[in-house]
Amino acid sequence: MTRKNFWLLVLFVAIAVLAPLALEDAWGRVGGGQTSRGSSSSSSSSGSSGGSSSDGDILMFLIFLAIDVPIIGVPLLLLFIGFVVVRFVVASRTGSGARVGTHAPPSTSSKPARAPRAAGSIAALRKADEGFSMPAFEDFVQLLHRRATAAAVGGSFEPLSAFVSPEAAAALVSAHTGRSAVRDVVLGGIAVRSVQLGARQRIVLTLQGTREEVTSGPAQRVHVTETWTLERDGTAVSLAPEDMLRMGCPSCASALETDTMGRCKSCGTAVTKGQLQWIVTAVEVGAREPYKAPEVGLLSGGDEPSYRDPVLIDPNFGAAYRSLFARHPDLDPRALEERVRSVYFALQAAWSAGKWDDARPFVTDPMYETLRFWMEGYALHGLQNKLDDVKLEKQQIVKIDVDAWYEAVTIRVWGSMKDSTIEVATGKVVGGNATKARRFSEYWTFLRAAGTGGATSDSLHCPSCGANLDKISNTGVCGYCDTRITSGRFDWVLSRIHQTAEYQG
C-alpha cells in the first residue's frame, strides 16, 4: 500500500467513525431534547449530551489539513478523533439529556431498579396532611405566580394578601423596578428544592420560565429563574383543588378582603400568616437573560441511551395495581393503553405542526405551560421542530400513586421518530435528522380525579358534551359547554414527562 493510499484510508476511517459523533447535538420532540434554556441554568428539560454544532466544522478543517499537510494534519485529526470518542463514551454512560405496547404487571424477570429518593420529604408531607396533592399544589403555584408577577408591575397585592407576604411582595416589586409591563408569563418548570415539616411547614421551589418585559426600549422576551419559599402553619390541612384555585378566603371562600389585622372581613379569620393556606414568604428573582434561540445541530439517528436503560418499577407497584383495578372494575386495561396511545400521537402531531393548542385537551395546566415554554423558543426564532414517522413501540405501567384528590399512573414508553429542526422561512433542515429515525424511552405520568370511572379513550370529542375539540381555551375549558376537561375529572390527562436519566420513581 502506498503512503498516499494509507493516508486516504486513515481519512476514510476518521470520517466513518467521527462524523456521527461530531454531529451529535440537541434533540427535540415533545417533552425534551431541547437545549433551548435561554440561560446556563438547568430547567425541567435538559439538553442532550453530545458535541457542539462546531464539531463538524473542525472535522472538515482537519480533513483538509491532513490532505494538504499530512505531517501536521493527520496527528491533529487522530487526536480529535480520540477526544470525541472519549466524550461520546462518557456521555453514553451518564445518560442523555431530557426530552416530549403492553399493559400488564411487570414479570419477575423485570429488575425493579430504583434511583435514590431525595429525602422523601413530599411523601412525609402527604403523610402529615392526607389532603396534600402535588398536582393540585403545582396548579396553585402556577396561578399564584402569574397573579403575583402581574401585581408586581403596577398592580395591587391586596387580593393576594393571604397568599403573598409583605416581604415577598416587596421583593417582587423591587425585582420588577423599571418595567412598565410584564406580559405572557410562561412558567416552564417547578422543581422542589427542599421541604421542612414541624411547627411551620416550608417548601422551597425553583421556578423557571419566560416572559415578555417592557422597559424603556422595545419589549423583550427573557428567561428568568426564581426561588420561592412557601410556608403554612404545621397544623394546616390542604383545601380541595378547586378551593385552592379559587384563591378566596381560605376559611369562608369569599372574595378576599382583609382588615389591618390580617383578618378576613367576611368571617373574621386571620389569614395572612399562613394559618390555613400556603403563603409565599420569600422570593429571589435571578438575573434575566435574553431568550436565546434553540441550540440545534445535526444528528446521526439511532438509539438514545435511554432506550436500553433499566426499567424502574415502584416496589409497591403490585399491590397498588391490584388495588386500583379492584376499586375500578370498569377500568379496562385496554382502554387505558389506548388512551396513552392516542394522547402520545396527538401531542406529537400538535408539536410537529407548531399548533400546541391542539394538545390542550390532553394535558394538565402545568404540562401545557411547560411544553409551550419550549415550543415558543422555536417559533420566536423562526424554527420548527418536525416529527415524522412517529411510532409508539410499547408501554409498561411502572407506578400507581393515589392521593386524596387524584390517581396517577406512570408508564414507561418506548418510541421512535424522525426528528428534525427546520427554518420555517426556507424549509432548510438545521438540526436533527430528517431521514433516519431515533429510538428513545421516557416515563409519562397520567392523572385523573379520584373516583373517575373507566377511561373513555375517545380523543376526538369533549368528554362532557360530546362536541368536537376545536374550541378548547388555554385554561382547558370546552367552548361548547363551558366545562373544564383537563382537570382529570373525565379521563386520564398527561401531567409530566420524565427522562430515564432523571426519573426517580
Measured from the Cβ of residue 407, the count of other Cβ atoms closer than 10 Å reads 22
Give the contacts of 410 (CB within 8 A, at least 6 positions apart).
Answer: 314, 397, 398, 399, 400, 401, 443, 444, 445, 446, 498
* Selection from 192, 73, 78, 197 nearest residue 126 by Cα: 197
| pLDDT mean by block of 10 residues, the chain; 505 residues | 55 48 51 40 33 51 68 74 60 38 34 41 88 90 92 90 94 93 82 92 91 86 93 92 83 73 79 87 91 67 83 92 85 88 94 87 84 79 90 95 90 94 90 89 90 59 62 59 56 86 72
Cell numbers 388495588 correspond to what residue? 323
Distances 184 to 295, 491, 497 between C-alpha atoms, Å: 23, 29, 23
Give the whole-angstrom CA distance, residue 492 versus residue 91: 35
| Cα(378)–Cα(64) distance, integer angstroms | 34
Amino acid, single-letter form, for residue 113? A
How many Å apart are CA 87 and CA 80, to the nearest integer? 11
Query: What type of residue is 182?
Result: V
Contacts of 253 (CB under 8 A, 6+ apart): 243, 246
Which phi and psi angles does 264 have, rounded to 5°? -65, 130
Q: What is the chain's Cα-based Rg?
A: 25
Burial 364-378 (b: 16+ CB within 10 A, else e): bbbbbbbbbbbbbbb
315 vs 395: CA distance, rounded Å? 19
Residue 61 confidence (pLDDT): 62
Identify which of 424, 322, 431 has the alpha carbon closest to the alpha carbon of residue 383.
424
Q: Which three cell numbers, joined as nine digits, stand for 44?
A: 425541567
> What φ, ψ does residue 420 adopt, rounded to 5°?
-140, 155
- The whole-model pTM stands at 0.66
Distance, in Å, from the CA atom of 411 to the CA atom of 379, rounded to the nearest integer, reads 30
pLDDT tens by residue, 422-469: 998 999 988 888 899 999 999 999 998 876 665 555 556 666 666 666
pLDDT of the residue at 149 = 93
pLDDT digits (tens, 9 = 90+) for 247-281: 788 877 777 777 766 788 788 888 788 888 999 99
